[in-house]
Amino acid sequence: MSAMKMIEVYTQNGLRKVRPYYNKRSAFVKGRWLGKPLVDILANEFKLRSRDYYLEQIEKGTYKLIRDGVPLAANRLLATTIKNHDILETTTHKHEPPVKQWCSQAIEADDSAGRIAGFKVVFEDESILVIDKPCGVPVHPTGQFYQNTITELLKSHGVNALPCYRLDKITSGLLILAKNSQSAGEIQKNIRSRDMSKFYLARVRGKFPHSDSVLNNEKAVNVIFQDSSNTTVEMSPIYSIDPKRQFPVGLSASRDAITQFYPIMYIPHVNETVIACKPITGRTHQIRIHLARLGHPIVNDSVYCLHISKYPERLKFMMQFPGWENQPGLDTENLRIMFQRFIEESRNICQTKKTYCPECDTVELNDPLLSDLELCLHAWRYEDTKGKFKFQTELPNWAQLSSN
């Protein structure tokens, strides 16, 4: 359960921003909390702050216990222990990161011209909504993002829909949303059974293999993967590195992954190629990592393009060790040392002058660069193997001959 004040939205320097707002959330207490003081629960389960901090917040009313429909006064709350059926009410001052503004506010407000919330509608019926997702906007609430997400923006325009698959914040393109759980289940089942083919477009560094053997213009998208001799296949494991967590939990297990690639158009004056990508498996960042290992990273990928990567140590490790398990010289101690380097690398990126919110003492967020919210990777077409289910977006600007 949650309650919120009116949300104030504004645009600045190409970013869509939400002014910090107070948000109330309430939920029944957990069974393991029964018989314990609330301050002890907060201090033990949320160790980022001290016990004194939580005492102060209880006195301010940030945390309340609702018992028999009545909120307990702070002095009584501190003198009691949690009982069954108590409700914990939390008031937070939310600071949402900005996202890239995808259209004018006038277009966002007008749902009459093939758009909803400013998003281009590819297809819609009573069961599903298919949109062309802009880059720089998360699909659903996650982490600090809530109002600035596709699902919440659609909801504000009267459309309740569930995303049928994951699409990264900075990736653009085809996003299928279901208007009911049954439709969502059917589409997700098709994706899991690999009855659904997904085609992405990417713009990569260098002259991609077999570029001389294709039409070398945007019409080549109509014949992708028809000539197997022009297809490049990358088969290497994918794993994730999360420096926010300690080793070994921050290093996930390697999982087999396969991606097929096909050249569409080589652009000689910038030495870049527009290609089609067909992931056979669905690992996190699979296309981006596979392209980096092939030596043809996405041109503006600030994570997996070594020339501009913010995390070169992490990237070099992933390129050198496609699967980190059972590698010569990579025993547990060496992995621990390497992981510490990844943590320090991430800390160095985050070491900027900090300002704090005068209302809640939270570190205020710096605006991201627009370039960090963009990626030349576009979910272009989805279709089932029977040809009954097929959706496709327009080509993104960076994949059109006229824009190059």
The answer to whether residue 245 scores a pLDDT higher than 90 is no
Listed residue (16, 20, 175) closest to 105, CA to CA: 16
CA distance 400 to 402: 5
**Residue 129: per-residue pLDDT:** 96
**Residue 3: per-residue pLDDT:** 47
CA distance 205 to 65: 57
**3-30 mean pLDDT:** 88
The answer to whether residue 76 scores a pLDDT higher than 80 is yes
CB contact burial 258-271 (16+ within 10 A = b; e otherwise): ebbbbbbbbbeeee
In this prediction, residue 402 has a pLDDT band, given cuts at 50, 70 and 90, of: low
CA distance 365 to 99: 12
**Residue 160: per-residue pLDDT:** 95
**92-109 mean pLDDT:** 92
Task: List the catalytic residue out of 40, 110, 111, 168.
Answer: 168
The number of CA neighbours under 13 Å toward the Cβ of 195 is 11
Looking at domain 21-94, its CATH class is alpha beta
The answer to whether residue 33 scores a pLDDT higher than 90 is yes
pLDDT tens per residue across span 153-212: 999 999 999 999 989 999 999 999 999 999 999 888 887 777 789 999 999 999 999 999
pTM, two decimals, is 0.88
Listed residue (166, 164, 152) closest to 128, CA to CA: 164
- Count other C-beta atoms under 10 Å from residue 69's C-beta: 6
CA distance 118 to 179: 19
Placement of tokens 């290609």 in the chain: 275
Residue of 48 and 122 predicted with greater confidence = 122
361 noted as active-site residue: no
Query: Hey, is 220 helix, strand or coil?
Result: helix
**250-269 mean pLDDT:** 95
**Residue 147: per-residue pLDDT:** 93
pLDDT tens per residue across span 362-376: 888 789 999 999 999
The answer to whether residue 230 scores a pLDDT higher than 50 is yes
Kindly tell me the number of DSSP H helices and DSSP E strands found in the chain.
Answer: 9, 19
CATH 3.50.50.60 fits 99-193+387-403, yes or no: no
pLDDT tens per residue across span 286-313: 999 999 999 999 999 999 999 999 999 9
And the tokens for 60?
């301010």
Q: Do domains 21-94 and 99-193+387-403 have the same CATH topology?
A: no
Q: How far is CA 243 from the centre of its chain?
A: 17
Q: Are the CB atoms for 362 and 278 separated by under 8 Å?
A: no
Q: Is the peptide bond before 248 cis (omega within 30 degrees of 0)?
A: yes
DSSP string of 61-121, one letter each residue: TSEEEEETTEEPPHHHHHHS---TT-EEEEEEEE-PPPEE--S-HHHHH--SSSEETTEEE
Phi, psi of 109 (to 5 degrees): -80, -15
In this prediction, residue 352 has a pLDDT band, given cuts at 50, 70 and 90, of: low
379's CB contacts (< 8 A; 6+ apart) are 133, 167, 171, 172, 173, 174, 175, 198, 200, 393
Residue of 118 and 196 predicted with greater confidence = 118
pLDDT tens per residue across span 376-385: 999 999 998 8
First to last CA, the chain: 50
What residue segments make up the domains of the chain, in order of their start? 21-94, 99-193+387-403, 199-378
